[in-house]
Amino acid sequence: MFNSLLFDLMLVVLIGILSQWMAWRFRMPAIVVMSVAGLLVGPFLGMINPEESMGDLFSPFITIAVALILFEGSLLLDFKEIRGFNKPVLRIVTIGAFIAWIAGSLAAHYVAGLSLSVAFVIGGLFIVTGPTVILPLLRQARLKPRPAAILKWEGIVVDPFGALLAVFAFEFIRFLKSEVTPNSFLLFFAASIFAVILGCGVAWFFGRAFDRGGVPEFLKSPVLFAVVIFTFVLADEIMQQTGLLAVTAMGMTMANMNLNSIKEIRHFKENISVLLISSIFVMLTASLSSKVLLAIFNWKIMLYVLAMLIVVRPLSVWLSTIGTDLSVKEKFLIGWIAPRGIVALTVSGYFASVLGDQGYRDADILTAITFALVFSTVVLHGFTIGPLAKKLNLTTTEESGVLIVGGSRFSGKLAKSVKETGNHVLIIDRTWASLAHARKYGLESHVGNILTEQQDYDLDLTPYRFMLAMTRNDSYNAHVCEDFVPSLGREHLYQTAIHPREENAASISGVGGHVLFTPAISLRALEERVNSGHVIRKTIITKQYSYTQYLRERDDKSILLYILRADKSIEFFSPDVELQAVAGDTVVTLASPAKTIERVKERLEEGNKGTQIEMKELEDAFHKIL
């Protein structure tokens, strides 16, 4: 009844997305969860075998999906991101890749026991990491900008070159055996150059067409989807494995063309990429046979994996970055993190078949070696990148930076006060117009939707310990807080109180983060107070002027916003959490202008520094400012 291709596809997609959700919910590496889920429903329980069900469609589906994923990843490669540390990036993706190829090939020959011919093919392939594995890990680890950017660029740029290097090694082997002429090498290099030109040319043509209105908005994403597949297949038909190079060149070109619609394009491709990555990892692991799984436990294969982890990878990174300004800690982290993914699995399957047809007996264990390396690196690097980065002080999650979601006049004033404390602050909103007050106060701002995965790669979110959801949409605020619970922890997530007229007030009550400020107040009410002249005041608590005395004397209409501790850390007021200020702390409130003027009057009178005329002028000045 359930033994059909349709059922298998349904189960693959369902398990893939469920794995993504479990990884998000329990803060685990998504690829680890997907791999384990695929093994459970595949070789362990025997529920599905996608390779058998799909037959001849299995390989083309995987390769096209990899092309789309690689294109989506290359859309993130904006050259502005690596200004200041482009030298180590260039070194790692060139010299480092070459060292990894030679060292990995020698390890495959002397440790795993492969023949030199097969070893150099598989050694070229294993230089890849890839966006399918490195990008999810970077999102969870919250690295500092430089190591994160280097790992991201290496993962995306080296991906197509690994496949090409394997093809080059294979062609070189055939040349040594006099199976091909030197013209084959010329054809290989010519096809590679053609793939780059094709990718850049297609990107330029359609990028200009998008910006000049040549393609309507509702067709941009479908057109791009079709064009990516066309570019990949055309290049791949001319020379095997050059299609990945073409789509990478296409994505990098579009990423640096400053297209007006690039964010919308990235958002669509991101959704497709998440679905494809989830499905493909489940399909590949579910299609493994018990014979391949048993072969993984061969001591030679296990020793080879160990050599790749602790010798080949660190050696390639440390040697290639000599003379760069990378710190020892950064080299150590980058030298450890190199998870392999989909490209390694798919391309190794292709070469296992081709080399087997050429009479190489050891080609039979290529799939086992590849899966052993992929699974080992995904598990080890997935679970260690976060703790290792913290140990090396390459994350900044302990800072008191504040990320405000929602631009408004009040959020601008609040962010300005936070910035004056010396803490990082950023305002993000979905529209440019909403960030007018942030720009007016000279604050850092960003246009985008924080709920899209894309923002994790566009922005460095590591300096921000707190997230304040303060948009005019209370449902959106609740969703923002709920989405970031696994990343920041609910104790660092806040949202403005739900407006009484909110249509979905009942459904979103109790969902999301803590309610902001004491007493709880909605953003609309805050905006009304700011527009009526309320201002942000800072009051220092001393031994002579205690917090209890301050609460007793403060204006009943004032709103308690946050406490700035003596060590410059911040704690936000909330009805859910009771805060106490001590001597040396500063209490920040939103107070009425009348109270502010009254305080100034008292100080002037106490110091006998002003006349009645001066006080009248002061009142007039206050009213003009407000």
pLDDT of residue 268: 61
Count the domains in the chain: 2
Q: Is residue 249 part of a domain?
A: yes
* Peptide bond connecting 519 to the previous residue in cis, omega within 30 degrees of 0: yes
Q: How far apart are CA 199 and CA 203, in angstroms?
A: 6
Q: How far apart are CA 533 and CA 443, in angstroms?
A: 21
Segment 311-323 mean pLDDT? 93
Q: Same structural domain for residues 362 and 408?
A: no
Instruction: Write down which residue in 326, 359, 391 finishes a domain.
Output: 391
Is the separation of the CB atoms in 547 and 487 below 8 Å? no
pLDDT at 137 over 70: yes
Q: Same structural domain for residues 364 and 417?
A: no
Q: Is residue 599 part of a domain?
A: no
Instruction: Write down which residue in 361, 391, 421 finishes a domain.
Output: 391
Two tokens at 125?
Answer: 């392939």
- If one compares 137 and 178, the residue with the highest pLDDT of the two is 137
DSSP letter for 451, please: T
Distance of alpha carbon 354 from the chain centroid: 36
Is the separation of the CB atoms in 586 and 540 below 8 Å? yes
Q: Is residue 483 part of a domain?
A: yes
- Distance (Å) of CA 330 to CA 29, 103, 241: 21, 22, 32
Q: Is residue 15 part of a domain?
A: no
Q: Same structural domain for residues 456 and 577?
A: yes
Would you call 5 helix, strand, or coil by DSSP? helix
Instruction: Write down which residue in 365, 391, 417 finishes a domain.
Output: 391
- Tens of pLDDT along 592-606? 876 555 555 555 555
Is the separation of the CB atoms in 337 and 137 below 8 Å? yes
Q: How far apart are CA 28 and CA 342, in angstroms?
A: 19
Q: How far apart are CA 490 and CA 456, in angstroms?
A: 19
Which of 91, 99, 148, 98 lies closest to 322 in space, CA to CA?
A: 91
Q: Which domain holds residue 114?
A: 61-391
Please provide the size of the chain in residues. Answer: 626
Residue 219, number of CB atoms within 10 A of its CB: 11
Q: Same structural domain for residues 381 and 417?
A: no
Q: Same structural domain for residues 184 and 251?
A: yes
β-bridge partners, 587: 539, 563
Cα angle, residue 157 at apex, residues 325 and 303 outer, rounded to 5°: 80
Q: How far apart are CA 526 and CA 522, in angstroms?
A: 6
Is the separation of the CB atoms in 77 and 255 below 8 Å? yes
pLDDT of residue 613: 45
Q: Which residues, in sequence order, are CB contacts of 244 under 8 Å at separation 6+?
A: 66, 67, 70, 159, 160, 163, 164, 232, 343
* Percent of residues, the chain, with pLDDT higher than 70: 82
Q: 106: buried, middle or exposed (CB in 10 Å: 19+, 13-18, 0-12)? A: middle
Q: Is residue 44 part of a domain?
A: no
Cα angle, residue 247 at apex, residues 242 and 249 outer, rounded to 5°: 95
Q: How confident is the model at residue 179 (pLDDT cuts 50, 70, 90)?
A: low
Q: How far apart are CA 17 and CA 257, in angstroms?
A: 33
Is the separation of the CB atoms in 250 and 228 below 8 Å? yes
Q: How confident is the model at residue 125 (pLDDT cuts 50, 70, 90)?
A: confident
Q: Same structural domain for residues 363 and 422?
A: no
DSSP letter for 516, please: P
Q: How confident is the model at residue 362 (pLDDT cuts 50, 70, 90)?
A: confident
Query: What's the whole-model pTM score?
Result: 0.64
Q: Is residue 569 part of a domain?
A: yes
Segment 290-304 mean pLDDT? 86
Q: Is residue 426 part of a domain?
A: yes
Q: Same structural domain for residues 359 and 500?
A: no
Q: Same structural domain for residues 357 and 413?
A: no
Q: Is residue 39 part of a domain?
A: no
pLDDT at 296 over 50: yes
Rg (CA), the chain: 29
pLDDT at 205 over 90: yes
Q: Which residues, in sequence order, are CB contacts of 168 under 8 Å at separation 6+?
A: 124, 188
**DSSP code per residue over 62-89:** HHHHHHHHHHHHHTT--GGGGTT-HHHH
CA dihedral 165, 166, 170, 172 (to 10 degrees): 20
Q: How far apart are CA 463 and CA 144, in angstroms?
A: 9
Residue 361, number of CB atoms within 10 A of its CB: 10
Q: How confident is the model at residue 626 (pLDDT cuts 50, 70, 90)?
A: very low
- Distance (Å) of CA 242 to CA 83, 124, 159, 173, 254: 29, 15, 11, 19, 19
Q: Same structural domain for residues 111 and 225?
A: yes
Segment 214-219 mean pLDDT? 82
Q: Same structural domain for residues 353 and 494?
A: no
Which of the residue ranges 225-239, 260-274, 285-299, 349-363 would you say has the lowest mean pLDDT? Answer: 260-274
Residue 393, number of CB atoms within 10 A of its CB: 11
Which of the residue ranges 118-122, 163-167, 456-460 would you say has the lowest mean pLDDT? Answer: 456-460
Q: Same structural domain for residues 248 and 365?
A: yes
DSSP letter for 574, please: B
Q: How far apart are CA 481 and CA 490, in angstroms?
A: 8
Q: 319: buried, middle or exposed (CB in 10 Å: 19+, 13-18, 0-12)? A: middle
Q: Same structural domain for residues 160 and 240?
A: yes
CATH number, position 471: 3.40.50.720
Segment 252-261 mean pLDDT? 80
Segment 37-56 mean pLDDT? 87
Q: How far apart are CA 581 and CA 563, in angstroms?
A: 7
CATH number, position 346: 1.20.1530.20
